[in-house]
Amino acid sequence: MGHAKFSISPHHVERFVHSSTRQSYSHYAQIIKSCATVQDLLRVHSQLEHNSCNLVANLLIDKYGRFGCVAEAKLVFDAIAQPGIHSWNIITAAYARNGHLDHAARLFDVMPRRDVVSWTSLLSGFSQYNCPGEAIRVFLSMPQWDVVACNPAIAAYAQSGHIFDAVEIFARMSYRDIASWNAILAAYSESSQVFNVNAFSALMPMWDAISTNTVLTANATAGYLERAKCIFDRSSFRDDTVAWNAMIWAYVSNGDLQTGKAIFDSMPRRGSSSWDTMIAAFAQGGEISLASETLVKIPRSSVLSWTSLLAGHAQAAELDKAMAVFHAMKQRNDVSWNAVLAAYAQAGEIEDARAIFAKMPQLGIASWAAIVVALVRNRDLASAKAAFDGMPEHDVFAWNCLLRAYASNGFVADALDLFSRMTVKNPASWAAVLASCAYNNMGRDAVRLFRLMVLDGHRPDGTAFSAVLTGCGHAGMLEEGRRYFWAISESYGVTPAVEHYSCVVNLLGRSRRLADAEELVDSMPLCPHVSTWSVLLGVAGISGDVRRAERAAEEIARLSPCAHSPYVLLSNVLSSDG
């Protein structure tokens, strides 16, 4: 016989807080587990400080950790007279789950005793926060492995580009659950190996919603929209809103807002995530008015919906409107605060950005990253370095934060110097410094770094190939670029995505090979994206090729009728042609 799910209202919290009656452990457990906000938990905790046991303390540590309040979790842990292994595991997991990996590792090192849960908590944290080297070292040091440990290890090997090692772990597992199969599927997907995604998925004994969405998204991201639609139409998870959302995003991320909106309109039921997806699609696509109209129609708007609209206004340099959205929000979370901080930073309003940073209720790694980026963008490198030094942790994420700030704002020499001093580098570190060179007319340096990355044992992903192809374009290295484009699939098993074709179109156009560029767009095995036609329009405009510029503008108008920029570019081409 099933049990009714226990739920708690603010009224129950109020009654509990003012009650002087000693309650049973099970009652405390229900109250703690059902706290919907950290404010509720703090109030409940205030009644338990002198009236609790280790079991209650463990529940508090876990709940604080799930709210992201690791400092409060640690205070509870420190108050336990003799913490057992379960308490040690919970506090370590709380730090690891929230990205405080240095603290998690230090706790792990001083644990009086460890079990498989201790090892797996640390391993999962490193894997979750994209520190594959550290995750792999933990995995290889484990006295024994189970399926719970192997699954994040597969993800860690995949993150570091060692897909073969990930597959080898999978092959050696005596027992595999659906999460194991999905981990390999995700490994192929994240390394842009859509062919292997499709081949491996055909071997799976069963699919769940995660499998379906991974295969669907992998094909959609690579531009294979018809295949994505076929997977969706055949899926037994068509009642799952995640699959519908993935289909919506498949089209809008390929520049087809109209079809994405049509899918949204035809959904049998819409969850809050569906509305969030559509609003984010409109906002990121520059259709801010449509995003606002959609937000008004939501039965119950979420913080994410409001934040997407805020970010859309910020992206469009409409700071006043972004702030109006922020002030109108009934609820705000860390993402909302970070979005408004980024809005001020993008607008160059550095003092306002500092003021927002000072007011933020909780400072996470994203908040520190945003203020560092703002200071670098303002060319205040000394303050940026001071902010970096003030960050609570200096792990690879913190270093990457400063590295990306230098790289994205044109401080290439500083980025290269910082990169050379980093003792631990992950794929994101290489991607940042590669892009820094590629987008600042240092194509030959980008090629050199790409070669060093491969020699260092990192398998290049789609982002790395985009950077090196862009670098070849800026440096006029046509044949070198062609070789890298060929190597994407032939040497590394990565399926070329729309962005890679766009890079080669740009490379051919810059080399005055416009006929070849147009032929490449026409012969793409996936649907040309707005961005691909935009690149062709741009290079045709530079060369004064009116016919190809007109055709590219027509294709953009067909795919995105609301876009105005192609007409401006075409007008410039026609006026310069005389």
pLDDT at 20 over 80: no
The top-scoring range by mean pLDDT among 72-86, 266-280, 557-571 is 72-86
Q: Which residues of 232-259 are buried (b: 16+ CB within 10 A; e: fewer)?
A: beebebeebbbbbbbbbbbbbbbbbbeb
What is the structure's pLDDT at 469?
94
Other CB atoms within a 10 A radius of the CB of residue 576 amount to 11
Asked whether 402 and 368 are in contact (CB, 8 A), the reply is no
For the stretch 354-384, pLDDT in tens is 888 888 887 777 788 788 888 887 788 888 8
What is the structure's pLDDT at 247?
86
% of the chain exceeding 90 in pLDDT = 19
How many whole angstroms separate alpha carbon 220 and alpha carbon 33? 39
* Confidence label for 152 from pLDDT (cuts 50, 70 and 90): confident
**Which H or E run contains 506?**
helix 498-510
What is the structure's pLDDT at 5?
38
Least Cα distance to 94 among 132, 133, 125 occurs for 125
Residue type, 525: P
* Confidence label for 12 from pLDDT (cuts 50, 70 and 90): low
Q: Which residues of 43-71 are buried (b: 16+ CB within 10 A; e: fewer)?
A: bbbebbeeebeeebbbbbbbbbbbbbbbe
- Residue range 402-406: mean pLDDT, rounded: 85
What is the SS3 assignment for 38-81?
HHHHHHHHHCCCCCCCHHHHHHHHHHHHHCCCHHHHHHHHHCCC
For the stretch 228-262, pLDDT in tens is 888 888 887 777 788 888 888 888 877 788 888 89
To 10 degrees, what angle do helices 319-328 and 303-315 make? 170
What is the structure's pLDDT at 22?
54
Contacts of residue 322, defined as CB under 8 A and 6 or more positions apart, other chains included, come to 310, 311, 313, 314, 339, 340, 343
Residue with tokens 């719970």, as numbered in its chain: 148
Asked whether 38 and 69 are in contact (CB, 8 A), the reply is yes
* Confidence label for 450 from pLDDT (cuts 50, 70 and 90): very high
The three-class DSSP label of residue 94 is helix
Q: What does the domain layout of the chain look like in residue ranges?
A: 1-114
What is the structure's pLDDT at 508?
93
pLDDT at 565 over 60: no
Least Cα distance to 211 among 192, 188, 185 occurs for 185
How many whole angstroms separate alpha carbon 535 and alpha carbon 505? 7
527: burial class by Cβ within 10 Å (0-12, 13-18, 19+)? Answer: middle
Residue type, 434: L
Q: By 3-state DSSP, what share of the chain in percent is helix, strand and coil, each rounded to 5? A: 70, 0, 30
CA 540 from centroid of its chain's CA atoms = 34
Average pLDDT, the chain: 83
For the stretch 180-204, pLDDT in tens is 899 899 888 887 788 889 899 999 9
pLDDT at 392 over 50: yes
